[in-house]
Amino acid sequence: MMRRSIIPRRNSNLASSFFSGDSIDSDFREMINGLEDIWQGRGLSSESAGFGEMKETDNAYLLSVDMPGVKKEDLNIQVDNGLVTIEATRKTLFENGGGETRRISRSITVPQTINRDEVQAQMQDGILYLALPKSAENKSKRINVSDANESFVKLFADSSDKSSH
């Protein structure tokens, strides 16, 4: 079984561009700061920064991502060409009637051997859980050897006759 930490693919100064006021709760701010530490290469493991982890089983890749303060309705998850993209939208309303919308997006590289049609996502207590089943066509398969029959062997004889002309 393989266990990997997840490292986001791009660098940015998220904390300064993502937060312009004090209306965001401290849990969400802590998550973004932890992501920035990882992106800046400060040596934090994904678990210590509150980012999450990926585990591999025989049948699936299991991904858990901390998403404090994010509702499942505000998540958009896409799986395409070995890339899982998780986008969270957070809406904040101000007392004066105004508001703002902020987005954060994380892209995580996964093996392309996953069955996209069977991916499952669930959320509990601020943690997003993704099960990315491995595609059956990419699993190894044992081939049984049987006694040859005349018609099967004839296929090979016929094809070698054609290739020698």
Domain chopping of the chain, boundaries = 3-137
pTM: 0.53
High-pLDDT (> 70) share of the chain, %:
62
Q: Could you tell me if 109 and 83 are in contact, meaning their C-beta atoms sit under 8 angstroms apart?
A: yes
The residue-averaged pLDDT of 117-123 equals 93
pLDDT at res. 132: 92
The residue-averaged pLDDT of 113-123 equals 90
Q: Could you tell me if 66 and 51 are in contact, meaning their C-beta atoms sit under 8 angstroms apart?
A: yes
**Beta strands across the sheet bearing 99-109:** 75-80, 83-93, 99-109
41 CB-side CA count, 13 A: 3
- Phi first, then psi: give them for residue 39, nearest 5 degrees: -65, -30
Q: Which residues of 75-109 are buried (b: 16+ CB within 10 A; e: fewer)?
A: beeebeeeebebebebeeeeeeeeeeebebebebe
pLDDT at res. 16: 46
Residue range 3-137 forms a domain whose CATH class is mainly beta
Question: How many angstroms separate the CA atoms of 70 and 126, rounded?
Answer: 7
